[in-house]
Amino acid sequence: MNTYPHPIIAKEGWPFLAIAFIAALLASAFLGLWSIPFWIIAIFVLQFFRDPARMIPQDTKAVLSPADGRIVVVGKAHDPYANREALKISVFMNVFNVHSNRSPVDGKIEKVEYFPGKFVNADLDKASIENERNALVITAANGQTVTCVQVAGLIARRILCYVNASDTLARGQRYGFIRFGSRVDVYLPLTARPLVTVGDKVSATETILAEF
């Protein structure tokens, strides 16, 4: 088991934290008790951008959750990014979840594709094909294809991805971030065995979604 090597606060959050806490301090100076809502907002921003250390399972057959959240889909679906029939597992993130995204497997990125789109509720299955999204097609260390798709949501309006085609990822490696509620879809070979069901709560990196 390896400790996930990232700071407790996501780097994407520092500008928002600075604005929120400066506003709260100014409100305290000029508004007294009326500044409480500003402090509540600042605390919310702080918890949203938390990025805690995670322990990484080393089982080579494991496909790890790329995000914190709740499982909303487990089933057969068409993977339009790798053009195949696949096992699809989707994780919905609400505004209270950690929003950094981690690689589900060790492997090489074959392609990265960004698609502009709508911002419907990411809890709906149509969000997978209608919303703004960014897809990674990965050849895992065992030769299998794994597709990992960041999907924007009703409130989430900013997908951040820091990797490119031909980059190599390690399981649990941080590769992106989605701001303010969203979804991540994972497409696996049909031979993969799911270890989660709809409604399960999962933790990025620490929860094993499936084995293949």
Tell me if residue 152 falls in helix, strand or coil. strand
Instruction: Quote the longest CA-to-CA distance of the chain.
Output: 62
Q: Residue 108 forms beta bridges with which residues?
A: 139, 168
3-state helix, strand, coil in the chain (%, to 5): 20, 40, 40
Alpha helices in the chain (DSSP H): 14-31, 36-48, 127-130
Do β-strands 174-178 and 100-102 pair in parallel, antiparallel, or remain unpaired?
A: antiparallel
HSE at residue 139, side-chain half, CA atoms within 13 A, is: 7
Buried b (16+ CB within 10 A) or exposed e, 21-33: beebeebeeeeee
Which residue is catalytic, options 65, 103, 182, 203? 182
Q: For residue 182, indicate whether it is catalytic.
A: yes
Tell me if residue 65 falls in helix, strand or coil. coil
CB count in 10 Å sphere of residue 77:
18
Q: What are phi and psi of 82, to 5 degrees?
A: -110, 5
The residues that are catalytic are: 182
